[in-house]
């Protein structure tokens, strides 16, 4: 199948071919024609399956082919939860619109506000933004959304998880007109979120559910290792990093402080590692990401700030030095490898402190998640006896996702039937509060 078979213009197809992209992925084959037909979309497919182009292609095609509602306001707004993800989306967009007269602007927290105002005065057709800074511009009326035609949320569940409900409401209200089309994408949407979002943001959405949030990724080999304490984790880590098949590697730690500490420890051992934490200045964050994507260093050590932002095909290994607290974040972290059909490995170290997370992930993935071991580095720790029922920890989600977020004026009827087999996600998700966002 070609992109033109999906209704995509020849010029865009040629542009993709320059990037070596010739065949649509599954999600693209489903979402592109549905979006071009003008439907609202709710889509879920695995990490690395090509969701970005699935929404960028119909958006660019629309801007190229259809007359604008307004000459001044942006026509397409793409909202992403983190600066790293927004930057990634913006980079792909720029490649697609190279050689056209379409203008795109990136509006991120941590960057100069006045520069953004100037860029917005240029009347870009595309705005890619993180929710906090976007809301600042809307409040100050330096950005208007009354002419918006296409509103796109990437990693929509994370936007909710980070507590941006008010910002979502503001965007929704300011762009609330009959002709607006809304597209929503993620790898991990749960039942409650689907409900809250589609009730409030979408009109008769088509659901495109190509895989369940907890379905195992066939291109990612997952291994778990028990660890007794910090030194033991570091010894295991060193052992893994010395294996021949390790290309670039992303290590996730529990806290920002751990990223620097571990980075220093690894550098002292002769590895080329750098920490990336959410509290760094924005230009520093971008510099580190840029250097990593150029393969200037091998090991990036980070927290969940980068669990959804990074799309680098050279990443062969993801190592969870500590497990994430939230099971769905595990899916996103390991999804930094095994992208676009490449194979990857995900190694997780599980110490006593990680045990509750381990149980949560095990329940979420509905998998045994057995442990491997390394000769000479076997753990004495064998796990903690379960006291609570595992289900309580299983598919946690935020309060924000459960309570009705806000209403759209034209209340949609029930979402239409899914395009593919619907996923079976437990609707009785227990509620749990999330920490404040680390960025924005």
Q: Give the one entry of Mg ion, ligand ADP, none that residue 68 binds, where binding means its C-beta sits below a cut-off of 5 to 8 angstroms depending on kind.
A: none
Min dist. Cβ of residue 312 to ligand ADP (A):
8
Q: Give the one entry of ligand ADP, Mg ion, none that residue 53 binds, where binding means its C-beta sits below a cut-off of 5 to 8 angstroms depending on kind.
A: ligand ADP
Min dist. Cβ of residue 364 to ligand ADP (A):
18
425 token code pair: 């996600």
Between 104 and 360, CB nearer to Mg ion: 104
> By rule CB under 5 A, what count of residues binds Mg ion?
1
Min dist. Cβ of residue 336 to Mg ion (A):
11
Residue 104 to residue 271: CA distance in whole angstroms? 38
Q: Give the one entry of ligand ADP, Mg ion, none that residue 415 binds, where binding means its C-beta sits below a cut-off of 5 to 8 angstroms depending on kind.
A: none
Min dist. Cβ of residue 190 to ligand ADP (A):
18
Q: Which of residues 280-339 bind Mg ion (CB under 5 A)?
A: none
Between 23 and 243, CB nearer to ligand ADP: 23
Cα 139 to the chain's mean position, in Å? 26
Residue 345 to residue 249: CA distance in whole angstroms? 10
Min dist. Cβ of residue 384 to ligand ADP (A):
34
| Dihedral pair phi/psi, residue 409, rounded to 5° | -60, -55
- Binding flags for Mg ion, 55-94, as an x/- string (CB under 5 A): ----------------------------------------
Q: Check if the beta carbon of residue 151 is closer than 8 Å to that of residue 181.
A: yes
Min dist. Cβ of residue 155 to ligand ADP (A):
8
Q: Beta partners for 350?
A: 226
- What DSSP string runs through 379-418? -S-------S-GGGGTT-B-HHHHS-----SS---SPPPP
Q: Check if the beta carbon of residue 354 is closer than 8 Å to that of residue 213.
A: no
Between 21 and 377, CB nearer to ligand ADP: 21
Between 31 and 237, CB nearer to ligand ADP: 31
113 token code pair: 């506000």
Between 153 and 358, CB nearer to ligand ADP: 153
Min dist. Cβ of residue 19 to ligand ADP (A):
7
Residue 19 to residue 164: CA distance in whole angstroms? 34
Residue 1 to residue 394: CA distance in whole angstroms? 39
Q: Give the one entry of ligand ADP, Mg ion, none that residue 437 binds, where binding means its C-beta sits below a cut-off of 5 to 8 angstroms depending on kind.
A: none
Contacts of 420 (CB under 8 A, 6+ apart): 30, 208, 209, 210
Query: Which of 30, 51, 332, 397 lies at the binding interface for Mg ion (CB under 5 A)?
Result: 51
436 token code pair: 């404040």
Min dist. Cβ of residue 146 to Mg ion (A):
28
Nearest Cα to Cα of residue 337 among 313, 361, 319, 320: 313
Q: Is 19 exposed, middle or buried (0-12, 13-18, 19+ CB in 10 A)?
A: exposed
Q: Check if the beta carbon of residue 63 is closer than 8 Å to that of residue 127.
A: no
Residue 212 to residue 203: CA distance in whole angstroms? 23
Between 50 and 351, CB nearer to ligand ADP: 50
Between 73 and 157, CB nearer to Mg ion: 157
Beta strands per DSSP E along 242-387: 248-252, 273-276, 299-302, 315-320, 344-350, 371-372
Q: Give the one entry of ligand ADP, Mg ion, none that residue 309 binds, where binding means its C-beta sits below a cut-off of 5 to 8 angstroms depending on kind.
A: none
Q: Give the one entry of Mg ion, ligand ADP, none that residue 47 binds, where binding means its C-beta sits below a cut-off of 5 to 8 angstroms depending on kind.
A: ligand ADP
Between 14 and 112, CB nearer to ligand ADP: 14
Q: Check if the beta carbon of residue 51 is closer than 8 Å to that of residue 43.
A: yes
410 token code pair: 């034209």
Between 51 and 362, CB nearer to Mg ion: 51
Q: Which residue is nearest to Mg ion (CB)?
A: 51
Binding of Mg ion by 158 (CB under 5 A): no
Between 69 and 419, CB nearer to ligand ADP: 419
Question: Which residues of this protein are in contact with ligand ADP, per CB under 6 A?
Answer: 21, 23-25, 28, 47-53, 311, 313, 339-340
Compute CA distances 196 → 57, 154, 303, whole Å: 27, 16, 28
Q: Check if the beta carbon of residue 252 is closer than 8 Å to that of residue 307.
A: yes
Q: Give the one entry of Mg ion, ligand ADP, none that residue 50 binds, where binding means its C-beta sits below a cut-off of 5 to 8 angstroms depending on kind.
A: ligand ADP
Q: Give the one entry of Mg ion, ligand ADP, none that residue 109 binds, where binding means its C-beta sits below a cut-off of 5 to 8 angstroms depending on kind.
A: none
Binding residues for Mg ion, rule: CB under 5 A, are 51
């Amino acid at each position: 199948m070609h992109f033109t078979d999906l209704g995509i213009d020849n010029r865009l197809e040629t542009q993709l071919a320059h990037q070596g992209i010739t065949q649509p992925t599954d999600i693209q084959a489903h979402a592109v024609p549905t979006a071009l037909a003008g439907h609202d979309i709710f889509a879920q497919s695995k990490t690395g399956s090509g969701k970005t182009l699935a929404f960028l292609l119909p958006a660019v095609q629309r801007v190229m082919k259809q007359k604008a509602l307004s000459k001044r306001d942006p026509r397409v707004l793409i909202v992403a939860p983190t600066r790293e993800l927004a930057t990634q989306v913006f980079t792909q967009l720029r490649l697609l619109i190279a050689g056209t007269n379409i203008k795109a602007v990136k509006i991120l927290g941590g960057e100069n506000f006045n520069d953004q105002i100037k860029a917005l005065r240029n009347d870009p057709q595309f705005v890619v933004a993180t929710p906090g800074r976007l809301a600042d511009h809307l409040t100050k009326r330096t950005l208007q959304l009354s002419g918006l035609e296409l509103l796109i949320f990437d990693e929509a569940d994370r936007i909710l998880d980070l507590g941006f409900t008010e910002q979502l409401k503001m965007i929704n209200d300011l762009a609330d007109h009959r002709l607006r089309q809304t597209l929503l994408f993620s790898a991990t949407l749960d039942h409650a979120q689907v409900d809250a979002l589609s009730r409030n943001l979408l009109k008769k959405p088509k659901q495109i559910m190509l895989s369940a949030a907890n379905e195992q990724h066939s291109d990612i080999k997952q291994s778990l290792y028990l660890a007794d304490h910090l030194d033991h984790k570091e010894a295991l880590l060193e052992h893994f990093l010395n294996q021949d098949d390790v290309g670039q590697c992303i290590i996730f730690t529990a806290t920002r402080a751990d990223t620097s500490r571990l980075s220093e420890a690894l550098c002292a051992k002769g590895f080329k590692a750098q920490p990336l934490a959410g509290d760094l200045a924005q230009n520093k964050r971008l510099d580190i990401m840029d250097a990593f994507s150029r393969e200037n260093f091998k090991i990036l050590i980070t927290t969940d700030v980068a669990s959804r932002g990074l799309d680098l095909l050279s990443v062969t290994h993801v190592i969870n030095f500590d497990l994430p607290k939230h099971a769905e974040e595990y899916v996103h972290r390991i999804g930094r490898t095994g992208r676009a059909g490449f194979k990857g490995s995900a190694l997780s170290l599980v110490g006593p402190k990680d045990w509750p997370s381990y149980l949560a992930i095990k329940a979420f993935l509905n998998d045994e998640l057995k442990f491997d071991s390394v000769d000479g580095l076997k753990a004495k720790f064998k796990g903690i006896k379960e006291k609570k029922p595992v289900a309580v920890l299983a598919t946690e989600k935020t309060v924000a996702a459960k309570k009705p977020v806000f209403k759209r004026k034209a209340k949609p009827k029930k979402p239409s039937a899914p395009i593919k087999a619907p996923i079976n996600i437990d609707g009785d998700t227990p509620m749990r509060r999330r920490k404040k966002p680390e960025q924005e």
